[in-house]
Amino acid sequence: NKSTCHTHNSRMASAPKKSSKKEAKTGKAEGAAEKPGLWHIGDELDGVKEEAVAAFRLSVSDLREKLQHDEQDDPMIVQKYLNARQWNVGKAVAMFKFSINFRKGEYDTDRLLQWKPPDRLLRYQPGGLYGVDKEGHPVSWLLAGRADFKGVYRLGTKKELALFRHWQLNLLIRNARIQSRVTGKYVGQSTLIIDLHGLGWSTMYLPMLRLFNEINHTAQQVYPEILRRIIVINPPGIFSGIFAMCKPFLMQRLIDKIIVASGDTHSALLEHIPNEYIPKLYGGEGPDPDLTADAIVTRVAEQAAARDACGSEREFLEKIVEERKAGWTWEDALVDGFAPIVLPQKVPAEAFKAVEFDPEGAEVVTVSARSIVHVAVVVESAGRLLAWDFKSENGDVGFQLSFAPKGTPVPDDSAGSEVAIPLEKVGNVVPEVGSHECSEPGTYVCSFDNSTSWVSSRTVSYRVYLEPEMPVAVDNSATKSMEVVGADAV
């Protein structure tokens, strides 16, 4: 039976409670603790698993040099991939290869850790990294219930927001490895606290939720076994509905690690985290979240300067390890990018102005009311990456990517084509950036859909091209506007 997440008491308290003698009500994703056969990082290997490790190593021996230098030193890297795929060697090898291929270019770890995120992303991130749990794993905090989801979504393009999330995850992984060197005990995972205090349907923003799900679905495949546990605190009455929306994007292995605490918040946290690392907001002795976010911007700038001064990531890691061994504290030393915890704020309108669409090389098309404009690109070989960026200047517009295999006609309305990316409404506040790996040759069609508007047209500036080549010439003969009538226009 598949595990499901549940709570015993869905009513949210008005504020986090102080510690009490009464134990917190906690519910683990059903079957998580009792499910037999789940191997945890650090356990002894039996004969079957030793054979699986040997088979995995043999299958990926030619790829080892493509790992980051700190991963090559990670004694548990093989087991992580196997564990994430329930010790199925074939699936674990496929996951490993996907991870290696994904972390190229902008998603390369060294590049990400040298990236300086825009201040607008740093200031309004809902959480941060602070402290370690009782097993020595770093603890990250996500104050999702207080977040301005719509505002955060408008702070950058999808690509920027994805890069920022991967930057955060790489910082978390770096911190775990530093802990291993400082303590002499292997630390390869982390604890995530998700605070849903204040969350309601009115505060949700579905485009941001969909993007968050997409990013984290990819992250589960790229960074296996990064989480030891997820503790959800202050779950509101709508939690089960939100979880149902997220569950299809979560691996069962991750669902098994979710703990839902619906009783006393402090007691639930204290079960896993020392009191000195629990913020006062939750009844502990740690510092409260930073209200201005100035500290995070300053510390990330300091970190970037220190990293540049060291010359390499390895030297920088060694410097941090020496600092921690010499009496480093979470409050006064150089932080690895995340800390302190940032209390979410309403994102002001002026923060959106920094996200501009570069018109250079872009085509401009008017999508009339009740019509759709198609842009077709012929892809001659499998494995090419089709990319696009666009912005609607005067209102929302729908976007869809469809596909017709090589040798088959491209339908005028794309209705007979295979759908590669389903139709989704896209806002006009920030540019839309995306890409799709073409699994086979054929004609790929980007559609800008304004069929639901009965009066207003949309002006769309766009680029559609194949990477890594320069923007390709668009097949204008397949670009046409069509009037939608009757029920199809609803």
d(CA 217, CA 57): 25
Give the pLDDT confidence score for residue 181 in this predicted structure.
83
d(CA 156, CA 353): 10
* Residue 111 token pair: 């590049």
d(CA 185, CA 190): 14
d(CA 271, CA 196): 19
CB neighbourhood size of 250 (10 A): 20
CB neighbourhood size of 180 (10 A): 20
Chain length of the chain: 490
* Residue 154 token pair: 């408008």
Kindly give, in sequence order, each residue whose CB lies less than 8 Å from that of residue 356, ignoring residues fewer than 6 positions away. Answer: 431
d(CA 133, CA 274): 6
CA distances 169 to 128, 161, 185, 398, 449, Å, are 11, 13, 21, 31, 35
Name the β-bridge partners of 286. 279
Question: Is the C-alpha dihedral spanning 324, 329, 330, 336 positive or negative?
Answer: negative
SS3 8: coil
DSSP codes of every residue in 95-116: HHHHHHHHSSGGG-HHHHHH--
SS3 155: coil
DSSP codes of every residue in 232-249: EES--TTHHHHHHHHGGG
Buried b (16+ CB within 10 A) or exposed e, 260-295: bbbbbbbbbbbebbbeebbbebbbbebbebbeebeb
Contact, 450 vs 458, CB < 8 A?
yes
DSSP codes of every residue in 255-323: HTTEEEE-S-HHHHHHTTS-GGGSBGGGTSSBPPPBSS-HHHHHHHHHHHHHHHHHSSHHHHHHHHHHH
Contact, 148 vs 346, CB < 8 A?
yes
Mean pLDDT by 10 residues, the chain (490 residues): 34 35 44 35 64 88 71 75 90 90 77 84 84 89 88 83 89 84 85 92 80 87 91 91 86 90 92 92 83 73 82 82 72 45 80 71 92 93 87 89 85 70 77 82 93 92 76 42 33
Closest CA relative to residue 439, chosen from 389, 478, 403, 388? 403
* Residue 488 token pair: 């199809």
SS3 475: strand
Name the β-bridge partners of 397. 426
The residue with tokens 């980051």 is 68
Kindly give, in sequence order, each residue whose CB lies less than 8 Å from that of residue 293, ignoring residues fewer than 6 positions away. Answer: 122, 123, 124, 342, 345
Name the β-bridge partners of 475. 376
Question: Is the C-alpha dihedral spanning 138, 159, 297, 203 positive or negative?
Answer: negative
Closest CA relative to residue 268, chosen from 8, 31, 26? 26
Helices vs strands, H then E, count in the chain: 14, 15
The residue with tokens 């020496």 is 322
Angle at 416 between CA 410 and CA 417, to 5 degrees: 65
Angle at 115 between CA 187 and CA 103, to 5 degrees: 60
Task: Tell me which amino acid residue 437 is.
Answer: E
Please write down the long-range contacts of 278-284, taking CB distance under 8 Å and 24 or more positions apart: 278/131, 279/130, 279/141, 279/341, 281/16, 282/16, 282/233, 283/16, 283/17, 283/18, 283/19
